[in-house]
Each structure stands twice: as structure tokens, then as C-alpha cells.
């Protein structure tokens, strides 16, 4: 569905575009110069399924911490830099795997050239990331009131990105990833459509400044899902005013919803209704929580496992039979299904234990 026609860009051993699997990224919320806090957060993101991580580099202390951070993590490290080309040069010297910057913000052509040459020599790509909130003044002035329309703001985003991209292309640099983000979902979708017709660089997608979950998760899922369904999107970042681990969880669920992410546990649970005689909500929540460590192992093994927690005998047996492990609760006990067969009946208080035990057994199988 996604990424098949875009150019391939490599970030260390991770492929973006060229038909590669859509990757998930996030951004740390710690002070980058605080190495131990930043590494701890990156490790949490890595454990949650993050494929590459970006850190903000607001000053030289942050830039100088990058090598130490990189030496302690397993996923590619992206440095997010604005305005000061010395930070970009230091980040490259520290061994980062990718830069996010807008060359136009560096102003001086000689400074842009220095950064681009250093990136080319280090064989690292650059993401040109344009946000509606930081459009160049001249683009903002030219579009004026049109910025309030979907088409106008989309075209302004693309124009700003193309201006930055051209600075790189004129220097012969084409290891480029592009993002065009807005809070407004229709403008974002339209901007990526226009950009996809202009250039074949891989697309980093997301809805920026989406807000606080759950509203932000829904907004992100709608925007990212719509883009991916159009074949637009090679790497995803969900932006939430929340723990970044939640960003990764939402991104992975969006990809799984579109069958774009292999490996892991998918939990199917019914919403419950008057037919349900079991307090299913805490059971489903407990199962979800206890399956997370197994989810990581399955992701790494690219193995899929589906688990169902169903509240009654109407849809319950059908769903529970279709998955690897499932329960269909009844008035007094729940039928436990493994591989489509009933293997026993369990009291409601033991549902979570029984499900998790069966999943652990299946995961342990070769
Ligand atoms: Fe209601 Fe049963 Fe459907 Fe759950 S599976 S929503 S309890 S009818």
C-alpha cells in the first residue's frame, strides 16, 4: 500500500521508501544534554517498537552529547536542528544517522554548503521538515488569506519544502526525506498529494501538534491512516502532548490497522453490552498490559498472534475461534479457545491468567 514508488533513503541499516516497511519514529522530550535521561527514554521507545528516534539539538551542549547517546542505544539517531549550522556540523561529527533541518533556515549559502557536504561525506540523509507554524515569511506573505483554505495552506507547505529541497538538489544532494505537517488534516493530506506529484523523495508523515490523547490520537490516526491508504507515507511520527511511548503505540496501531506492520499481539475485545455477565473491561485491560512484553518478542520475530476477549455467546465463540487464543465469557464461566478449539472452561477471575499462560506457551513454541 505504502512506499512502493518512492525513492529509497537509508538511515544506517533502516530503509525509508523504496517499498520498505513503513517505519515508526518518535522524538524524545528530555533535555538532550542530559544523556542518562535521554538514553533512558530512547530505550523505552525502542522497547515499545520505535524504529528511529529524533532528539532536539537547541545548543552546543546538546550537540556534544549526541555521540555518547548514540553509543548507548540500538536504533538510528536523528538530530533536529534549526538556524545554527555549527550544531549540524557538530551533530554530524558526533556520528548521528540523519539530520532534520530546513536548509533555508541556515541563511548563508556557504553554511548550507558546509552542512550538506559534511552530510554527504558521512553518508547520512537530511529530512526537510516543513510545518505550517514555521512557514518562511515570504511564503506566508505571498499566500496571505489563502493560507486559511485547504488548498492554499497545502500549496504553501509544498512551496516552502520545495524551496528548501532545491537548495540541497543544487548541491547534488538527494538523500532527502520530506515532511509537510499541519494541525489541519485535510491540508496535510492535500500537501502530501501535491508533493508526491512533484518529487519521489520518501515521505515522513504525521499530524503536527495534534494535542492531548485521546483526541490527538484520533486526529493523528485519521490523518496518517488517510495518507497511508493513498499510498503516501514511508515513515510515521505521531505527535502527542504525552509520553512519547504513547506516540509509538498509536503509530503501531495505525500501521497494524492497515496491515502494514508485521509481528506482535493484536487484541480483539468486544465493547460489552447487556448480554455480558462478566466485568470484561478490567480483564481486557489486564490482558493488554500483561501481553506487552510478549508483544515485543513477537515484533522482533515478525510473528503475529491474535487474542480475543469476548463477553458472551453471541459473537464470542465466532471471534474466539478465529484467533490464536480467545475466551467467550458466559453467565458462569468462559470458554477458552486455542487454535479454534475449546480447550476448557474457566471462572471469570481466571480469564486473564489463562489467556496470558496460553499466549506465553505459544510464544515459547518455535
Ligand atoms: Fe455484547 Fe456479546 Fe457482542 Fe460483547 S460479544 S458486545 S457481550 S453481544
Reported pTM: 0.92
- pLDDT number for residue 3: 45
Q: List all residues whose CB is within 6 A of at least one atom of ligand 1.
A: 270-273, 275-276, 310-312, 314-316
Residue nearest to atom 6 of ligand 1 (CA): 272
- Torsion sign over Cα 24, 29, 31, 37: negative
| DSSP 8-state class, residue 84 | -
pLDDT tens readout for residues 312-365:
988 888 888 999 999 999 988 999 999 999 999 999 999 999 999 999 999 888
In angstroms, the Cα distances linking 32 to 43, 67, 96, 245 are 14, 11, 13, 17
The residue-averaged pLDDT of 22-49 equals 97
What is the average pLDDT score of the chain? 93
- pLDDT number for residue 2: 44
Residue nearest to atom 2 of ligand 1 (CA): 312
Q: What percent of the chain has pLDDT over 90?
A: 81
Contact 104, 136 (CB under 8 A): yes
Report how far ligand 1's centroid is from the alpha carbon of 210 (Å): 33
Probe residue for ligand 1, chosen from 274, 308, 316 as the CB with the greatest number of ligand atoms within 8 Å: 316
Reduced to 3 states (helix: H, G, I; strand: E, B; else coil), residue 130 is strand
Contact 300, 51 (CB under 8 A): no
Report how far ligand 1's centroid is from the alpha carbon of 306 (Å): 18
Report how far ligand 1's centroid is from the alpha carbon of 255 (Å): 26
Report how far ligand 1's centroid is from the alpha carbon of 276 (Å): 6
Q: Which structural domains are found in the chain, ordered by start?
A: 9-257 (3.20.20.20), 264-364 (3.30.413.10)
Closest ligand 1 atom to Cα of 270: 4
Report how far ligand 1's centroid is from the alpha carbon of 331 (Å): 12
Cis peptide before 187 (omega within 30 of 0): no
Amino acid at each position: 500500500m505504502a512506499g512502493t514508488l518512492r525513492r529509497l533513503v537509508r538511515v544506517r541499516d533502516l530503509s525509508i521508501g523504496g517499498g520498505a516497511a513503513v517505519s515508526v519514529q518518535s522524538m524524545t522530550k528530555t533535555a538532550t544534554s542530559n544523556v542518562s535521561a535521554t538514553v533512558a527514554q530512547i530505550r523505552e521507545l525502542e522497547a515499545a517498537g520505535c524504529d528511529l528516534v529524533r532528539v532536539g539539538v537547541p545548543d552546543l551542549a546538546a550537540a556534544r552529547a549526541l555521540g555518547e547517546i548514540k553509543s548507548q542505544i540500538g536504533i538510528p539517531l536523528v538530530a533536529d536542528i534549526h538556524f545554527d549550522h555549527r550544531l549540524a556540523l557538530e551533530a554530524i561529527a558526533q556520528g548521528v544517522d540523519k539530520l532534520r533541518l530546513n536548509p533555508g533556515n541556515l541563511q548563508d549559502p556557504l553554511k548550507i554548503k558546509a552542512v550538506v557536504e559534511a552530510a554527504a561525506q558521512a553518508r547520512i540523509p537530511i529530512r526537510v521538515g516543513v510545518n505550517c507554524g514555521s512557514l518562511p515569511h515570504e511564503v506566508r506573505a505571498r499566500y496571505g488569506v489563502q493560507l486559511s483554505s485547504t488548498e492554499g495552506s497545502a500549496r504553501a507547505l509544498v512551496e516552502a519544502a520545495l524551496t528548501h529541497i532545491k537548495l540541497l538538489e543544487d548541491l547534488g544532494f538527494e538523500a532527502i526525506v520530506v515532511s509537510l505537517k499541519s494541525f489541519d488534516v485535510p491540508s496535510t493530506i492535500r500537501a502530501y498529494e501535491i508533493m508526491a506529484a512533484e518529487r519521489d523523495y520518501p515521505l515522513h508523515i504525521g499530524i503536527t501538534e495534534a494535542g492531548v490523547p485521546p483526541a490527538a490520537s484520533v486526529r493523528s490516526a485519521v490523518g496518517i491512516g488517510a495518507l497511508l491508504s493513498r499510498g503516501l507515507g514511508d515513515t510515521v511520527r505521531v505527535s502527542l502532548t504525552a509520553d512519547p511511548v504513547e506516540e509509538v503505540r498509536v503509530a503501531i496501531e495505525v500501521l497494524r490497522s492497515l496491515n502494514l506492520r508485521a509481528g506482535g499481539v493484536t487484541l480483539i475485545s468486544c465493547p460489552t453490552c447487556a448480554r455480558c455477565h462478566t466485568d470484561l473491561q478490567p480483564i481486557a485491560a489486564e490482558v493488554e498490559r500483561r501481553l506487552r512484553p510478549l508483544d515485543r518478542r513477537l515484533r522482533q520475530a515478525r510473528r503475529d498472534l491474535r487474542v480475543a476477549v469476548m463477553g458472551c455467546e453471541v459473537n464470542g465463540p465466532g471471534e474466539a475461534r478465529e484467533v490464536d487464543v480467545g475466551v467467550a465469557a458466559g453467565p458462569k464461566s468462559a470458554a477458552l479457545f486455542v487454535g479454534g478449539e475449546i480447550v476448557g472452561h474457566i471462572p471469570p477471575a481466571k480469564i486473564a491468567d489463562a489467556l496470558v499462560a496460553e499466549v506465553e506457551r505459544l510464544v515459547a513454541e518455535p
